[in-house]
Amino acid sequence: MESLAQLQKTVMQGIAEMMCDKEKMESLKAYIDELQQEDFADDSEMMSEEEQEQLMEDIRQGLREVKLMREGKMEKHYLRELIDEL
């Protein structure tokens, strides 16, 4: 089973690859909106405040990197390359 940190990294990499596709981003936003509306019956499934802050920072960092890639200031990395490295 993946650790939370590894899962976050994998999700952020997938999101970064979709950033230039408006249709995929709209679908992702709709899915996130649905997830946020779900009622979690088991508190053990909820992230701690520290984990939430870490996730938000990871998202911010990912978005900063996407911006740099779009500006040509950072090399693009594709999910297939990362998977091949693992």
Tens of pLDDT, residue by residue over 44-53, are 567 788 988 8
- The token duo for 67 is 């911006």
Res 39: pLDDT? 65
Res 78: pLDDT? 73
Asked whether residue 43 is assigned to any structural domain, the reply reads no
How far apart CA 13 and CA 4 sit, in angstroms, is: 14
Asked whether residue 74 is assigned to any structural domain, the reply reads yes
Task: Give the number of other CB atoms < 10 A from CB of residue 25.
Answer: 13
Asked whether residue 42 is assigned to any structural domain, the reply reads no
Asked whether residue 26 is assigned to any structural domain, the reply reads yes
Dihedral pair phi/psi, residue 50, rounded to 5°: -65, -45
Count of structural domains within the chain: 1
Please write the tens of the pLDDT for every residue from 7-36: 888 888 888 888 888 888 888 888 888 888
Which range of residues forms the domain containing residue 76? 4-31+48-85
Asked whether residue 8 is assigned to any structural domain, the reply reads yes
Asked whether residue 40 is assigned to any structural domain, the reply reads no
Asked whether residue 41 is assigned to any structural domain, the reply reads no
pLDDT at 41 over 60: no
Please write the tens of the pLDDT for every residue from 68-83: 888 888 887 777 777 7
Q: What is the pTM of this model?
A: 0.44
Res 45: pLDDT? 62
